[in-house]
């Protein structure tokens, strides 16, 4: 139980700005088991803000989106921007990895982030608030599946560090959590959950080809953001 609690704390400490200290684990890969749980907590805050009464729809959507960004510390948005710059560059795979490490934002990062946030803001106003629990869960599930499905593209780095202790048990635990949340909404809403494995596989395979056979940490964040957006759009029509 102590180890489980440490892993839960590690997941929240890494993925959110909640004032939870890093537990100091030497096997951070075990925290992946609880990524969808972190998504559920984020989704609860987003859903609560989206359900506020007495505010214009656009303002509620803005507050919900702002909280969504702030709670994650912009972690995945940063990865999405870097991935846009690197993956869309017409250069060699090794150069793409270098571009993704550059702290400066290029034109593709700016364009991609604007479109992503605009898409989320637009969809937020068209989705029933309680259903907003789902996209953050599915987005973080997609990250777990991508880590399991593709090798790491760099010899070292944060992504490599977080693979220590990662294995089938973490994939199974994360998948069970995500599937339970999906099932709670029933059919056909649960179909939006398919965005997780679909983008982890299709997006991950495309990115891996662009990077020479593996994925980098920025790509995991990008897949999370894209999955959330696709899940939101699917919920608008379900």
Task: pLDDT band for 105, please (50, 70, 90 cuts).
Answer: confident
Q: How far is CA 202 from CA 149, 176, 183, 209, in A?
A: 11, 21, 23, 11
Compute how many other C-beta atoms are within 10 angstroms of the C-beta atom of residue 160.
14
Give the pLDDT confidence of 27-85 residue by residue, as tens digits: 888 999 999 999 999 999 999 999 998 889 899 999 999 999 999 999 999 999 999 99
Whether 166 has a pLDDT exceeding 70, the answer reads yes
Question: Which string of DSSP letters, residue by residue, matches 170-185?
Answer: HHHHHHHHHHHHHHHH
| Residue found under tokens 């983008």 | 199
Considering only 12-26, 81-95, 106-120, which range has the smallest mean pLDDT? Answer: 12-26
For 173-179, what is the mean pLDDT?
96
Give residue 155's pLDDT: 65
d(C-alpha 80, C-alpha 114), whole Å: 11
Instruction: Indicate the Cα dihedral angle 85, 88, 92, 93, nearest 10°.
Output: 80
pLDDT, tens digit, 9 for 90 and up, residues 185-233: 998 888 899 989 999 999 999 999 999 989 988 999 999 999 999 999 9
Average pLDDT over residues 145-161: 80
């Amino acid at each position: 139980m102590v180890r489980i609690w440490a892993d839960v704390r590690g997941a929240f400490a890494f993925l959110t700005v909640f004032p939870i200290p890093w537990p100091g684990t030497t096997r951070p890969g075990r925290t992946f088991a609880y990524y969808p749980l972190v998504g559920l907590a984020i989704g609860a805050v987003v859903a609560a803000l989206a359900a506020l009464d007495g505010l214009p729809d656009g303002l509620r959507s803005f507050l919900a989106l702002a909280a969504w960004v702030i709670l994650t510390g912009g972690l995945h948005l940063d990865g999405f921007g870097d991935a846009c710059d690197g993956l869309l560059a017409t250069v060699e795979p090794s150069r793409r990895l270098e571009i993704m490490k550059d702290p400066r934002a290029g034109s593709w990062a700016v364009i991609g982030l604007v479109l992503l946030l605009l898409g989320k803001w637009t969809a937020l106003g068209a989705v029933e608030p309680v259903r907003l629990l789902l996209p953050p869960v599915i987005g973080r599930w997609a990250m777990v599946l991508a880590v399991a499905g593709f090798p790491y593209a760099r010899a070292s780095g944060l992504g490599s560090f977080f693979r220590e202790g990662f294995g089938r048990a973490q994939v199974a635990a994360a998948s069970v959590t995500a599937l339970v949340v999906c099932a709670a909404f029933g059919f056909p809403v649960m179909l939006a959950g398919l965005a997780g494995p679909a983008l982890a596989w299709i997006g991950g395979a495309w990115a891996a080809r662009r990077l020479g056979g593996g994925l980098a940490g920025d790509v995991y964040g990008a897949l999370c953001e894209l999955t959330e957006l696709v899940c939101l759009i699917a919920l608008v029509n379900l």
